[in-house]
Structure 1
Amino acid sequence: MKASITSFDLRVLVAEWQGLLGGHVDKIYQRDDEVMFRINVPDRGKVELYSKAGQWLCLHEVEDKPESPPPFAQTLRRLLDNARVTAVEQRGLDRIAIFRVERGPERFDIVFEVFSRGNLVLVRDAVIVAVMFPQKFKDRDVQVGERYSYPVSGIDSLDLDRDGFAKALQGAKGQVVRILATVLNLGGTYAEELCLRAGVDKETRVKDLQDGQIDSLYTALNNIAVAIDQERRPAVILQEGRAIDATPIELWQYREMERREFPTFNEALSHFLTIAEPQVEVRDDVAAKFERRIAQQRETLQKLREEAMLLEAQAVFLYGHHAVLDELLRSIREGRPPSEHGQIKAIDRKTHMVTVAVGDFDAITLDYDKDVTANAQAFYDRRKDAQLKAQRVEEAIARTREEMDAAKAKAVKAAKKPRIKATKAMWFEAYRWTFSADGLLILGGRDARTNDQLVKKHLKEGDRYAHADIHGAPSTVIKDGARAPETTLREACEFALAYSKAWSAGLASGSAYWVLPEQVSKQAESGEFLPRGAFVIRGKRNYLHDLPVQLAIGEVEIEGHRKIMGGPVAAVAARSKRYVVLAPGKEDREELAKRLAASFEVPIEEITRAMPPGKVQVVEQHGVELKARGT
């Protein structure tokens, strides 16, 4: 089962994250080696960037985020509050992502090292200002205050020509699959995919490869590169109903397995993280982390107690030898030799401190500008500080024990709790979708890419095309629309309007139209430019006005399988006994999605995929007891 993202995964994710540019860092959370960045993105709202050291990095919402940040998260919050995202990049083909942000005149790089143990480093002016895991390597020092150096880059196999590919391959020793995975930086999954596509036994030794086999491997690499950049088909791969991988393209090695397609790879990966069977921590594993923390706290407590005892002993000694020490301090102030009762070990004229060996103390440091009583009082004051610190450490140990007990209980509960299972994947879920009250399938694009894909692949003769009369609306296709009654055409127009910018603008009603397939063209007028996802409509448009900006989300049955469907109220009401009706409002869509997911008992991704693009309000409930906020 997939255990971490690959270099190719990160390449696709970074391409998809370009929509985060201009967003502002809102809040940062941390739980152990997981860090979550909440980012406010224009025209999109709040999203969460989730990272788990050495394993995962994607937009993914995590429930039960800790409100009290540990020191590392506190530092990130202090330095990055309201910072604006200006760039998102990948370093070559390495598993390193860089988020460049600005906060006033300051420029920061948030560096995610998603390999090996993993790390998260905050860099300002090339200097490390915060690091999750301070580390020291032979060739670089990842510590606060040090200049940040990237690890030595692996080969970017996508930049190699045929000769460079052959040279890199033949310059190593071992099985071809291992060399592809490590030396050529492809990772295990794509190394095996190359061998499969090239028809090369993965256990073949590199020295035994023929020129024709190297050509086949290089061709397979180029085909994968083209698919990664231009022909993505993101999906979660299921084996006997269990999620085992999330991939940005179709892989031959999974041809016989069930696929659940998604509009973006980030959505596929987020869904995988939600439904994949977790490696549930048993109570002993959970306790081990807290026991290590308690051991460190106890060590600190013991040192503080010993310090307090030593300071008290020194203060008592001063009072017991008042006359001798008073004479010693006076002699130092006056610049004359001290008496023979004490041995001076060091004098610091800048700080006015003297270290002497006297009585049972090998070294006791005093302020020679003060008398014995003042020095003794200073020891008592420091003892009090040490005792207060010790008290706080004792309280921290008690809190850690409480956290450990709560974590144990949570682990047991999680182990016993049945996993919420995703509903059966359907091919049309790569798009927005609904079924009309008359049973016809209506599809809509989710973004510019899927708008293009929808029209190119699925708008056929006999279908109908609909679009809201507003900029920023999805292309909508009514399958078999030639036989669609007026009710279905109206529902398709309502569908196109509800998923348009009319919702986020808070409109109560709007207009939309439908046309024939032959009226839809990708050919712009002479001298004009047609952006991705846009089309030219030629000829008469069949307008429908005063359409309500509303949407229903409900539980329906499709081909004998339970599904969550969003669509026009009439369409959902015709197929569902359990649904809610939504309109533009003031409630956060993600918050409502959580409540709906709990009520329908499905993964939250199945709800968010059906949700409209803006804030909402629930105007009707039918057969659904909506969970209260915060439950």
Structure 2
Amino acid sequence: LDAVFEEHAREALPFFLPANDGDYSIEFPTLAAAVDAWKGGWDATAMARRQQEKAAQMVDDRQQRDDGSSLERRLAQQERSIIGFEAKGESQQQLGISIQDNWSHIDTLLTQTLSAIEAEGWDNIRSKVRDIEWIESLDPAKRTMKAYLPDEDGEPDQRIELHIDQTVHQNAQRYFDAGRKQKDKTVGAKKAIEETRAKIASSEKKRAKEDAAGKLHATKRSKQLWIERHRWAVVGDGHLILGGKDAKGNDTVVNKYLKREDLYFHADLHGAPSCALKLKEGLEMDPHPLPGLPEGVPALRLTQTLEAEEFSEKCIKEAAELAVVWSRGWSGGGAAATAFWVEPPQVSKTAETGEALGRGAWIVRGKRNWLRDLTMEMTLGMAVVNGIPLPLVGAHDAVTKWCERWVRIGTGTIKKEAMANKIAKATGLVQDDVLAALPPGNVQIIKNNNLLND
């Protein structure tokens, strides 16, 4: 299907034009879906389009999942419940009073119905009451009947349920008891409302404190940006570098994302991830940021149209440093490591005769461009990418170009899980997102620039 689109598709339109009469067309639910099918759903521009289409909805979803909004909804529901309890309680009380006010009417219905049942049986009487305007139905199992109270003109009005074996007083008392139970519920509901209001006040105070501290209000998501399925970082002037998280990811990075204009990187260590440095794909400032972002937190978006025509030496070195950061060299605690880069045509799945390549493994042929004594460091900042609060990791200059708050991370003795928890608490980012962004091993903070609370 991709080949058909590539050969025959000419344009994607938001609606059908008269000029296209007679042309073969395929309908999609949205314009973004049409472009994704044509150009590929994984590409950065497509993801940006999808995220911009859903930006407003994403804000709504985050607000709905927010503790404060949840409490507000709970409060509204509790207040509605009180109104319902009070109204139902009042209604039950009034029916009890009406039964007492119409004592003779109710007593006659009960006496005559009970006598008829004893004389003729339930089945015969059930068929006969259909012709009686004051009785709607009989229920032999419950020994009850649904009957009507008279209005001011003596016509059938309010419907009530009467227990045939009870007196008028007992039937009235049953409604009084039901009314009191409803009113008793309001006592518990009012107490619950006070507790909810206290929680709302606490939540608002907490949120105000977080806002003052410059925290984001990130929430766990069911869907990820495509870059999050891999190791990813920024280098140079916003270029993306992607790395496989496992053997399958290594194959995907090379097969799907390594294009002719890109570069392939690999640390000089067994099992290191295959990495693709993207020439045209990366991050840029978002011209339409979400409102209410904390000061110093940049709004970025994925793009496929970076202006670079080639990679600078600095960018290549930074990409090589990320390749070694993502390798097991980090866990080894080394201060420096070695990596190489090659052009995409040098990377192949074709092994020599008699050799076999495992999943995630690649053959590199030809000259390797080595970079040695690479620093085992990375920088982490906080940003909003395509409307989603995320940790932004990468080369120091690439991250600090956008992020005013950041930490510089090196190999150390602090477990990455503990560091992720600390960063998440200080920034409001989702802990799992931070954990995924950190290197594969213990860490330490080399420098903290207003990201963590010292």
TM-score (norm 2): 0.47
Structure with more of its chain in helix, by fraction: 2
Structure with more of its chain in strand, by fraction: 1
| Rg (Cα) greater in structure | 2
Relative contact order: is structure 1 or structure 2 higher (C-alpha 8 Å, sep ≥ 6)? 2
TM-score (norm 1): 0.35
